[in-house]
Amino acid sequence: MYSTDVSEGAGWGPEVPILAIETTCDETGAAVLMGPRAGATGVPWVLSNVVASQFELHSRFGGVVPEIAARAHLTQILPIIDQALADAGISLGQLKAVAVAVRPGLVGSLVVGLSAAKALALALQIPLIAFDHLEGHLYACQLAYPERTVYPCVGLVVSGGHTHLYHCKGPLEAEFLGGTIDDAAGEAFDKVASMLALGFPGGPAVERTASLGNPKAYAFPRAFIHEDRLAFSFSGLKTAVLYTLKGKPGQLAAVAAGPQQISDIAASFQQAVVDVLVRKCHQALRQTGLRRLSIGGGVAANGAFRSALLTMAERSKVEVFIPPMHFCTDNAALGAVAFEKLRRGIDSPLDIDVEAGLRRSPA
């Protein structure tokens, strides 16, 4: 392996630029990060953060098609890297490391990003730093609040593929507390948006429609909300929405789905998801005794969820860290967590492979 001495006490200072690459799903991302900045947290600066969306490619299917996503990454990855470097005013020769998300995600998508990162690390003879997409989402809170101490905290990653709680002792030390036993919250948003013919991606579409509805119009189920175990389930909620629209098998449809009814269903569904997420976060804080909560993932961009979290935090006297919108969705600035690995002298071999599945601990 090629190495650069960037460990504690090595005097690496604030002039260490790295390139981060993110291709876990359907967003091609590249970012140039400079760090670490002075201060207790040592969080880097984001010099550039470029994301190429595949929205138009997948929207007609109502969800991400893995083969299409991988092929799009192949087309976009080099131009996106070039753009990130140009925006940052950094040349390839100035890079000290390349970071890349290797898990979890779609296999074909992950392979494209890792292949590009390996090629750059080999050609430039710089360290390759593999990071977990989920630890990146949680580190986005520290990235967004560089002057504040985020860790230790309870971390919730909530997105299209994940709804999981962690006890985060540090950026690279996360203990799995519990998660969904079936569907992720973001996936439920997408499926309900499809049922209501609201379009893709489902999260923003449901939120817009819900803003016109009554969140108490329908008493949708909230799985495990009265149980102490830190588990989530959204499959029954999706089924309840379906039965509300279509009726149970052998029965007539229960709702004449006019515009107001659609808005009411969207609002009631969204409220059910928000209630469960906030309740489980509160339970995790109580069970661990921690007073900080960090939220990562695309669903963290939902306004109703953010508002409910802040209300809970005020009542419970805890700190809640929610990244700005552009750090919630998939982007390569999440690779800032690689500085924590560089600080400890951790790099990755060039024969490292991707891991599609979820680890109990993302670190």
Entry field: residues in the chain: 363
Do residues 146 and 39 touch, judged by C-beta distance below 8 A? yes
Residue range 112-139: average pLDDT?
Answer: 96
Q: Are residues 172 and 258 in the same domain?
A: yes
pLDDT tier at 343, thresholds 50, 70, 90: confident
Omega prior to 323 cis, within 30 of 0: no
Residue range 201-213: average pLDDT?
Answer: 95
DSSP string, 42-82: -PPEEEEEEEEE-HHHHGGGTS--HHHHHHHHHHHHHHHHH
State the Cα angle at 115 between 337 and 108, rounded to 5°: 95
pLDDT tier at 209, thresholds 50, 70, 90: very high
Beta-carbon-side half-sphere exposure of residue 257 (alpha carbons within 13 Å): 17
Is 30 within the bounds of a domain? yes
d(CA 344, CA 333) in angstroms, rounded, equals 20
Tokens 């669903």 sit at which residue?
299
Task: State yes or no: pLDDT of 14 exceeds 80.
Answer: no
Q: What are the Cα distances from residue 57, in Å, to 54, 159, 268, 271, 299?
A: 5, 20, 30, 30, 21
d(CA 210, CA 301) in angstroms, rounded, equals 15
Please give the tally of structural domains in the chain.
2
pLDDT tier at 9, thresholds 50, 70, 90: very low
pLDDT score of 233 = 97
Is 353 within the bounds of a domain? no
List pLDDT tens digits, range 46-86. 999 999 987 778 777 877 888 898 999 999 999 999 999 99
Task: State yes or no: pLDDT of 320 exceeds 50.
Answer: yes
Task: State yes or no: pLDDT of 254 exceeds 70.
Answer: no
Is 3 within the bounds of a domain? no
Quote the tokens at residue 326. Answer: 């552009």
pLDDT score of 7 = 35
Closest CA to 270 of 243, 296, 314, 301: 301
* Secondary structure of residue 335 in the 3-state scheme: helix
What CATH number has the domain bearing residue 219? 3.30.420.40
Helix H or strand E segment including 126: none
Q: Are residues 100 and 179 in the same domain?
A: no
At position 6, the amino acid (one-letter code) is: V
Q: Are residues 232 and 250 in the same domain?
A: yes
Tell me what the pLDDT averaged over the chain comes to.
90
Is 90 within the bounds of a domain? yes
Q: Are residues 91 and 171 in the same domain?
A: no
Omega prior to 201 cis, within 30 of 0: yes
Q: Are residues 79 and 95 in the same domain?
A: yes
pLDDT tier at 3, thresholds 50, 70, 90: very low
Q: Are residues 42 and 64 in the same domain?
A: yes
pLDDT score of 28 = 95
pLDDT tier at 2, thresholds 50, 70, 90: very low
Residues 6+ positions from 272 with CB-CB distance below 8 Å: 220, 221, 222, 237
Q: Are residues 256 and 157 in the same domain?
A: yes
Is 244 within the bounds of a domain? yes
Q: Are residues 337 and 219 in the same domain?
A: no
Task: State yes or no: pLDDT of 284 exceeds 50.
Answer: yes
Q: Are residues 85 and 226 in the same domain?
A: no
Q: Are residues 113 and 200 in the same domain?
A: no
pLDDT score of 359 = 59
pLDDT tier at 38, thresholds 50, 70, 90: low
Task: State yes or no: pLDDT of 143 exceeds 80.
Answer: yes
Q: What are the Cα distances from residue 258, in Å, to 145, 190, 252, 265?
A: 44, 20, 16, 11
Q: Are residues 95 and 67 in the same domain?
A: yes
Domain range enclosing 291? 149-325
pLDDT score of 295 = 97
Q: What does the longest C-alpha to C-alpha distance in the chain come to?
A: 72
Is 320 within the bounds of a domain? yes
Q: What percent of the chain has pLDDT over 90?
A: 77
Predicted structure pTM score: 0.88
Is 349 within the bounds of a domain? no
DSSP string, 205-226: HHHHHHTTS-TTSS----TTTT
Do residues 128 and 97 touch, judged by C-beta distance below 8 A? yes
Q: Are residues 321 and 336 in the same domain?
A: no
pLDDT score of 40 = 59
Task: State yes or no: pLDDT of 231 exceeds 60.
Answer: yes
Is 360 within the bounds of a domain? no
Stretch among 39-48, 135-144, 148-157 having the lowest mean pLDDT = 39-48
